[in-house]
Amino acid sequence: NAGVTQTPKFQVLKTGQSMTLQCAQDMNHEYMSWYRQDPGMGLRLIHYSVGAGITDQGEVPNGYNVSRSTTEDFPLRLLSAAPSQTSVYFCASSSQTGQGATGELFFGEGSRLTVL
Amino acid sequence: AQSVTQPDIHITVSEGASLELRCNYSYGATPYLFWYVQSPGQGLQLLLKYFSGDTLVQGIKGFEAEFKRSQSSFNLRKPSVHWSDAAEYFCAVGAPTGGSYIPTFGRGTSLIVHP
């Protein structure tokens, strides 16, 4: 059971570089989201998607882009990395429709990003 | 919009002692409530959830939580803590937002277990 798969697990970037964090889920979930986790700040929502072709901003979207071309994949792009984007990033998905849909999230294992 | 408050940043207990982690939420109707646990270096795992019915819910690893509407609370409890329970605990509220359920998380409570 793969669930939610994130890659890479670790990445070091220099300021101004770009990169993409990959997220894939095999549960046919409509909803996918990206969070960043910083000490003392809990989990903050960056972007989310309620289905293929639909994305929206969360609490802290600046500096990040997303797209959702398929149900399974939801990549997060950093176009020009900044030290403030040093964080641990989590992808999560959930079923939003059907009986019992409650928004329960299934998480990936996280991607630790350091921007120098 | 919904919000979640976890008033305790850190909690320290001795192994074998009882535990209660506090969670208060703000939402106009009855929300869906969750507790997640994050072990060091890991992703988040669901401990338990409440969305209707019995206000005392049982979860994995011997945890339980009680929904109290009058206090807008959903506190997590365990009668006897094990050293392996040391982790970060997050309370979350999920409420319908434009047809979707977008959970809001508290800032987390770090549980430290002394032998």
Cα A50 to Cα B70: distance, rounded to the nearest angstrom? 32
Q: Which residues of A touch B32 (CB under 8 A)?
A: 102-104
Residue-level pLDDT, tens digit, chain A, 116 residues: 679 999 999 999 999 999 999 999 999 999 999 999 998 888 999 999 999 999 999 999 999 999 999 999 999 999 999 999 999 999 999 987 665 566 789 999 999 999 99
Mean pLDDT of B68-94: 95
| Token pair of B111 as six digits | 């549980």
The C-alpha atoms of residue B22 and residue A115 are separated, in whole angstroms, by 35
- Calculate how close chain A gets to B18, using CA atoms only, in Å: 25
Give chain A as a 3 state SS string.
CCCEEEECCEEEECCCCCEEEEEEECCCCCEEEEEEEECCCEEEEEEEEEECCEEEECCCCCCEEECCCCCCECCEEECCCCHHHCEEEEEEEECCCCCCCCCCCEECCCEEEEEC
Alpha-carbon distance B23 to A57, whole Å? 26
B67/chain A closest Cα distance in angstroms: 16
The Cα–Cα gap between B112 and B33 comes to 24
Interface of A with B in 16-35 (CB under 8 A): 31, 33, 35
Work out how many CB contacts closer than 8 A connect A with B. 62
Q: Locate A38 and state its tokens.
A: 């910083």
Q: What is the pLDDT of residue A102?
A: 67
Taking alpha carbons only, the member of A113, A69, A43, A99 closest to residue B107 is: A43
- Whether B26 contacts B73, CB under 8 Å: no
Amino acid at B73: S
Nearest-CB residue to A103 (from B42, B43, B103)? B103
Give the residue-averaged pLDDT of B80-95: 93
- Nearest CB among B43, B49, B94 relative to A110 is that of B43
* A7 close to B (CB below 8 A): no
Percent of chain B with pLDDT over 90: 72
B34: nearest CA partner in chain A: A104
Contact call for residues A10 and A115 (beta carbons, < 8 A): no
Distance in angstroms (rounded) separating the CA atoms of residues B48 and B34: 6
Q: How far apart are CA B65 and CA B79, in angstroms?
A: 11
Closest in A40, A43, A50 to B90, CB measured: A43
CA distance B7 to B104: 15
Interface check A39 vs B, CB under 8 A: no
| B61-73 confidence digits (pLDDT tens) | 999 999 999 999 9
CB pair distance less than 8 Å for A31 and B101:
yes
